[in-house]
Chain A
Amino acid sequence: MMFFFEVLIGGLMSGIMYALVALGFVLIFKASGVFNFAQAAMVLFAAMFMAGMYGDWGVPYWLAIPITILLMIGLAWVIERFVLRHLVNQEPIIMFMATIGIFFAIIGFAEIIWGSRSRTLDVGLPDDMLFIGDMLFQQYDIVTALMVAVLVVLLMIFAQKTRMGRVLRAVADDHQAAQSVGIKLSTVWVVVWSVAGVVAVVAGIVWGGSLGVQPVMVDVAFKALPVLLLGGLTSIHGAIIAGLIIGAGEALAEVYLGPIIGGGIDNWFAYIIAMAFMVWRPEGLFGEKIIERI
Chain B
Amino acid sequence: MNSDPTTPRILTVSELNSQIHDLLENSFSELWVEGEISNCKSYPSGHTYMTLKDAGAQIKAVLFKGSAFRVKFQPADGLKVLVRGRVSSYAPRGDLQLILSSMEPRDKGALQLAFEQLKAKLEAEGLFAEERKKPLPPYPKSVGIVTSLQGAAVRDMLSVLQRRWPGLEILIYPVAVQGEGAAAQIAGAIEDFNEHLPTTDVLLVGRGGGSIEDLWAFNEEIVARAIGGSKIPIVSCVGHETDFTIADFVADRRAPTPSAAAELAVPEKEAVSDAVLGLADDMESEMLEIIRRLGERLSRAAEHPFLQSPHRMYEERIRRVDELYARLPDAVRRALLNAEKDLQLQAEKLDAISPLKVLSRGYAIATKSPGGEILRKASEVKAGDKLRVRLHEGQIDCEVTS
- A and B associate in one complex: no
Binding site for B on A (CB under 8 A): none
Name B's A-contacting residues (CB within 8 A): none
